[in-house]
Structure 1
Amino acid sequence: MTDVINPSYTNTSSTPHLIVVGGTSGIGLALARRHQLQGWRVSVVGHNQEKIKTLNQSHPNMITYSCDLAHDIERRKLLQQLSEVGFQRLIYSAGSYFNERIHTLDRVQSDQMLAINLQAFEHVFHWASTQLKRQIEEQPVICPATHTVSDPKLGLICIASIAGVLDYPYASLYAKSKRAMIATASAYRCALQPFNIQVTCIASGYIDTQALRDLNKGDASHKPFIMSPEHAVDNIMQAISEDTELAIFPWPMRYITRILNRLPKPVLHRLLRNKLDK
């Protein structure tokens, strides 16, 4: 069931409002905190009750919503609730990952990964773009040439993965869904340009979050070019500020993927299959 967990939240229309879908931990929470430090009102959507409880205690000024994004009815109820709340920026940071190289996906895992990484993302982005366009149509103004924290450009941001940047047949379901996310964000950016609505997609490398450490027996330091959440947030905020279409970082990974994508598909397929299967 979709619930507003922190009803003490108050709406201050003069303060810009951010919604982070998938923001109770990891990079989503780090982005929520950074925006709050910059003076934004922040609403966070999550499904883990313990994380929501902890967040309410540590950040009582954030409003939290509980929703299983993979559940269609819950997702629709959530968006119906959020339709009553104006916002200037939405970040889709929800994600689901299972290591398909080690374990064969069962039906539940396959459905979960597709639902969170692609289907819910598409649903949320469709809803959010409609809401922002409605704001513009109901309150038409001349769009300023520059924007500030108190008067930000309306925007949609999604957190994809550098795994979605490479185009090769052996890609996992996770990589394919993130690649679809990148393509979808690009289409929205083109479609929303006449409305002066920003769309930015983030395709980062490894970030040293608790989730990544949990997947690597508590230590992910061996991952190539791994970065701290603070460094990742710096890169993301810069990409948002500069209205970047697709932000790929850290820079070594950006150049590596650029080189790999220039290889003939059979060579790339063989190279990555040998590497990923080890």
Structure 2
Amino acid sequence: MKILVEDTAENHTPHIIVVGGTSGLGLALALHHLQLGWQVSIIGSNEAKIADINNQHPTVVTYVCDLTDVIQTQSLLDELSATSFQRLIYSAGSYTNERVQHLSQADSDKMLAINLQAFEQVFRWASVQLKQQHQSLDFAKDCRPSLICIASIAGTMDYPYASLYAKSKRAMIAAASAYRAALAPYNIQVTCIASGYIDTQALRDLNDGDASHKPFIMSTQTAVDQVMQAIDDDIELAIFPRSMRYITRVLNHLPKPLLNLILRGKLDKPS
């Protein structure tokens, strides 16, 4: 379903685009903004989930897009260039548990494409759009423009045995930091979220339907609250829960060989 959103400069309703917003934290953040009165657009690849959102939330604008397809993604971004928005959240992600299964070519390509390449493509486009809107004073006065990406606490760890998932999330964190510096003169906020385990359906599916054994696991609502607080506080890299933030900080100060030994049997899981 592809519907162009009215220019928010005219209706003064802030507009958010959530890439990867059909489930999990992305959907929860989209619906939270909807409750706040925002115009919400969601991009996802699962047509069944899109249809369900259309049925339950008819005011949400939805787009079906395969982010692994560069041409299809760019076509959608070109279409969205006709709209204005104040916030974009990149919440799309792909994960394969490299500890329990061999990383196939298809899995490798998909993780790299969604976790890094599509993220870079979307953020590049979004930064251009927001800068142009900044120059035309096209923003709602009470809403600072912002780019938000959902990484993982796995990306905050720097050790030799890191998985592709962790390395791609680490690259996302670094890229977001660069965008934050580059967009500061435009008063455009960039915040990266690096959370621990969130009790989403995707995580439960990876753990035979029950992820309660995961350390410091938090509810989706708690994660939404943390993300919104990080945006309000203009945090560059928000790492939560606090207990995990302290643990990763300590681990990152260990000698690399020791850190590698500790983590070798515990490859990163998705947030």
User: Which amino acid in structure 2 is aligned with residue 109 of structure 1?
Assistant: D
**Partners of 1:100 and 1:166 in 2: CA distance:** 17
Stretches of 4+ aligned residues off by more than 4 angstroms: 8-12
1:201 matched to 2:192 = yes
The equivalent position to 1:187 in structure 2, one of 175, 178, 199, is: 178
Q: Does 1:136 align with 2:137?
A: no
Structure 2 counterpart of 1:167, which letter?
Answer: D
Equivalent-residue separation in structure 2 for 1:123 and 1:9 (angstroms):
21
The share of aligned pairs that are identical, in percent, is: 65
Secondary structure at 1:33's aligned position in 2?
helix
Which residue pairs with 2:62 in the alignment?
64
Structure 1 unaligned spans of 5+: 142-148
Distance 1:105 1:47, change over 3 A: same
Q: CA 1:91 to 1:79, structure 2 compared with 1: closer, same or farther past 3 Å? A: same
Deviations 1:190-221 (A, max 9, x none): 11111110000000000000000000010000
* Structure 1 residues 99-248: aligned runs within 5 Å: 99-139=97-137, 151-248=142-239
- The alignment covers a number of residue pairs equal to 266
Shift of 1:37: 0.6
Among 34, 41, 44, which residue is 2:32 paired with? Answer: 34
State the Cα deviation string for residues 216-254 of structure 1 (Å, max 9, x = none).
010000000000000000000000000000000000000
User: Alpha-carbon deviations, 1:4-33, whole Å to 9, x = none?
Assistant: x15496555310000000001110000001
Q: C-alpha separation between the residues in 2 aligned to 1:166 and 1:94?
A: 20
Helix, strand or coil: the match of 1:74? Answer: helix
Unmatched 5+ residue regions in structure 2? Answer: none
The code of the aligned residue for 1:54 comes to D
- Kindly report the root-mean-square deviation, in angstroms, between the aligned alpha carbons of the 2 structures: 1.6
The letter of the residue matching 1:67 is C
Alignment TM-score, normalising by the size of structure 1 = 0.92
Paired letter, 2:87: R
Using the alignment, how far apart are the partners of 1:95 and 1:8 within structure 2? 25
How far off is 1:139 after superposition? Answer: 2.5
Distance in 2 between residues matched to 1:261 and 1:181, nearest whole Å: 18
Alignment partners' CA distance in 1, 2:146 and 2:201: 28
The secondary structure found in structure 2 opposite 1:103 is coil
User: Which amino acid is the alignment partner of residue 16 of structure 1?
Assistant: P
Name the residue aligned to 2:17: 19
- Given candidates 95, 101, 107, the residue that maps to 2:93 is 95
- Match of 1:144? none
Structure 1 pair 138/276, CA: closer, same or farther in 2 (3 Å)? closer
